[in-house]
Amino acid sequence: MTPLEQIIFLLKAVPVTLAISFLSFLLGLGLGVSLAFMRIYGVAPLRYFSDSYEKFFRSVPVLAVMLLLYFGIGPLVPIFKDPFFTSVISLGIVSGANQSQIFRSAIGSVGRTQMLAAVSIGLTQLKAMRYVILPQALFLAVPGLGSEIALLIKDSAYSFIIGVVELMKHTDILRASQRSLILPYIASAIIYVVMTFPVATYLDKWGSRKKRELGL
């Protein structure tokens, strides 16, 4: 294969890598927001659950979760026999713990006084969370979420271990076929940088600009 053909071969795997990253981010977003609100506004059992979840999954390598679900639970729960699904769930579970911390910090920056003000004008606590606290917290969380997206794109590389044909799997195939240990990995590293650096940088700048505009 010519160098151009090798690059094209690697780029063909990028959509799978991005799909895993995007879907796991959405799963982590739902978990992170829910866990953050549980931790701050929930009753004692919910606060304990959120705290335990966050500490546990921030301490466990995502690869360990992925291998446990695929090889340990997969034979018992057929849906985890699917490598793509297992990758998304594993990354999303761990991302949920990371995003929970991001949103806790963001919600804390909004302040409890705004919750009290919203409740005092007749909003329920749930509506106050939805219409007052969460919109502001999202803007405050954007820089951290940008870094989390970049982390997920990089961690999606673990998926090739359980058989997902994504960028790192294509890199390994290229390495074996071309008998080169250097060029395929250098090329894939550059592709990962191109996918992660602009996203994290743009969201960091965008989030900072929005916070200044809104006076947060």
Tens of pLDDT, residue by residue over 5-61, are 888 999 999 999 999 999 999 999 999 999 998 988 888 999 999 999 999 999 999
Distance separating alpha carbons of residues 14 and 190, to the nearest angstrom: 12
Kindly report the pTM of this predicted structure: 0.89
Q: pLDDT digits over 115-146, tens only?
A: 777 777 777 777 777 777 788 888 888 888 98
Query: pLDDT tier at 149 (50, 70, 90 boundaries)?
Result: very high
Average pLDDT, the chain: 88
Looking at CATH, the fold of the domain delimited by 3-211 is given as MetI-like fold (1.10.3720)
Query: Range with the lowest mean pLDDT among 57-66, 90-99, 182-191?
Result: 182-191
Q: CA-CA distance, 107 to 72, in Å (whole number)?
A: 37
pLDDT of amino acid 215: 62
Torsion angle, alpha carbons of 207, 208, 209, 213, to 10? 100
**Phi/psi class of residue 122: alpha, beta or left (left: φ > 0; alpha: ψ in -120 to 50)?**
left
Q: How far apart are the C-alpha atoms of 171 and 111, rounded to whole Å? A: 47
- Residues above pLDDT 90, as percent of the chain: 56
Query: Over 80: is that where the pLDDT of 112 sits?
Result: no
Q: What's the residue count for the chain?
A: 216
Q: What is the pLDDT of residue 213?
A: 66
